[in-house]
Amino acid sequence: MNSVINAAFPVFALILIGYIAARRRILSEQASQHLNSYVVWLALPALLFHAMATVSWEELNQIPFILASTGGMLATFFIFMVWQRRRFSLPDNSVASLSASYSNAGYMGLPLCMLAYGQAGIIPVIITMILTACVLFALSIVCLETGLNKHGGVWTSLRHTGIALAKNPLIVSPVAGMALSGLGIALPAPLAELARLLGSSASPCALVTIGLFLAQTRSIRPHPALAAVLFMKMLFLPGATAFLAFVVFDMPPVQREAAVLLAALPIGTGPFMLATMYQRDTHLVSQSIFISTVLSVFSVSALLAWFQG
């Protein structure tokens, strides 16, 4: 419980700081948009680039873990999308589906896995971050671009979607880092430190942005799809991942437990940043992030007690 609280407290505190800053008018109403642009175009791409460029491909060659984690994510994403297709348009459904399948691996997963498994817990977190960026983010962006595309025609729509993906920093940055790692090109020390410093500001700024948005939201009533998002994220995703990790695939105990633990984490800030970037409704996303973080104190504590026992 203590390790979970230690990891969850900064998340709550940063959201609260943003909320107070907005209510006390320390930051203006435009600060949310500006901070989000900073995270999407600078901080988060730097984090993804640095993570990919500084990890060897041999360390990432954990096929059973990758299949179990990816299978859980994709099953959650598509089941939620089909389930809620009548409630949302395709662009809004892609953001909601991303929320239901997106874990806060970078900000909460890393300290939790290091506390539970030491150095052996770092690689599963890095792999999960890469899968989240290169699979979930890419899939959501494809759905967003397809739903918002007004060019007409299947091939024209696909071409414009491909161009949009090629220009998206959240897709380009991990691919560029992966290319450097694959070619065996080491980042110069000053460039690596720059990427690390810039990337380390992504989560704090994103969490403050959520607090700013919550302070500016007039309605406090729960979103109609809130319960569905929380059910899929907090119950279905870790359950599906556990089935794949414990029953279907054979992997070391640390990776098996880390896969389930990472799937059980609360929703990360990525869906909020994507919703703001594409000017979609952020009401559902912000509520889901806050409540799932509260629930995770109990659910993740139970998992850690079970695994450690």
For residue 103, the cross-strand partners are 267
Between the CA of residue 83 and those of 253, 265, 306, what are the distances in Å?
A: 33, 22, 32
Between the CA of residue 118 and those of 24, 113, 154, what are the distances in Å?
A: 41, 7, 49
| Of 278, 303, 276, 255, the residue nearest 63 (C-alpha) | 255
Residues 81 and 94: beta-carbon distance below 8 Å: yes
Task: State the amino acid at position 293 in one-letter form.
Answer: T
Question: Alpha-carbon distance 23 to 253, whole Å?
Answer: 47
Question: Alpha-carbon distance 105 to 72, whole Å?
Answer: 14
Q: Say what the pLDDT of residue 194 is.
A: 93
Q: Say what the pLDDT of residue 21 is.
A: 93
How many residues comprise the chain?
309
From first to last of its 309 residues, what are the pLDDT tens digits of the chain? 666 666 667 777 888 898 899 989 898 878 877 887 888 789 888 988 887 888 777 777 889 999 999 999 999 999 999 998 888 888 889 999 999 999 988 777 776 787 778 777 778 888 888 788 778 888 888 888 778 775 555 566 667 667 777 777 877 888 888 889 888 888 899 999 999 999 888 878 888 887 887 777 655 678 889 999 999 999 999 999 999 999 999 988 989 999 999 999 888 878 887 888 788 878 888 888 888 888 887 888 888 878 876
Q: Say what the pLDDT of residue 156 is.
A: 66
Helices (H), the chain: 2-23, 31-38, 44-53, 57-60, 63-83, 90-101, 110-117, 122-131, 138-148, 154-167, 169-183, 189-199, 202-216, 226-231, 237-243, 253-263, 270-277, 283-308
Question: Alpha-carbon distance 38 to 32, whole Å?
Answer: 10
Q: Say what the pLDDT of residue 88 is.
A: 87
Domain count, the chain: 1
Q: Say what the pLDDT of residue 234 is.
A: 94
Q: Say what the pLDDT of residue 198 is.
A: 92
Q: Say what the pLDDT of residue 272 is.
A: 84
Residue 143 lies in domain: 1-308
pTM: 0.79
CATH number, domain of 257, equals 1.20.1530.20
